[in-house]
Structure 1
């Protein structure tokens, strides 16, 4: 039995992911030409996306990581957001791009934008691989870079998990 055996269907293939990540990298490169933005990956889900995205960006970038929890092992966000790991670098005066795997209700991303904005950066923008806007609670969340819109289904793969499994799938599938 393999991990892929549990997948109902593939939503985005490995090739589709690679193409879209390349496009996002090109867009970020254009938008930040002449600057060196700090990309902040939200662990653990955005790890694969962050790695591929940074390689698709043609300008110098710095990276840091935050870890947040809001799921607690279930298929739906609990609504309670808790920081597990904070940044290692100061962001005062820096252009920050928050890199998320998926934005669902928007509560986690909203929390992070407020948290980062309070540290006096030059700017904070959001880049998410997946946008599940059908479940959005925070409607005024500006998403600057969006990979794919997804319906209200539970997806795994390419960093996204269910109870810490399925992250290593090279595609995004419906569980």
Structure 2
């Protein structure tokens, strides 16, 4: 295939780093955020609602329901396909029609231009349905404002104690 041994090793290395980052570190951050909300709002938690705008999927899950705030927690969203935005639009309409306010917090913005365009469209969808959309620094600030927990400082302190930059 024209790939040198070094390139093959680099591909394996970056594939494994990517797998770890996306599967484990991302899940860790999302779960840590849920714990912050659960600590501040013990009655909060995930909730499944019916898809009121279509047939597939039949149900949607709200990551963290705090009162009427349906909070979607994403460490990062790099999806670039058109089906993603259609499904997200359907999910948001179902949340709003169920009487909840859709709120999205996404801590790291995607790098690819197509994924960035989709995030801009999603931000508009949230606003159009009376929701809120926070990404990057605003997501960290929103989490701290709502929960009273400065999760970013905690994670930075842990990383510094372990010599991770």
Q: TM-score range by the shorter chain?
A: 0.3 to 0.5
Q: Which has the higher strand share?
A: 1
TM-score by length of 1: 0.38
Bigger helix fraction: 2
Flag the structure with larger Rg: 2
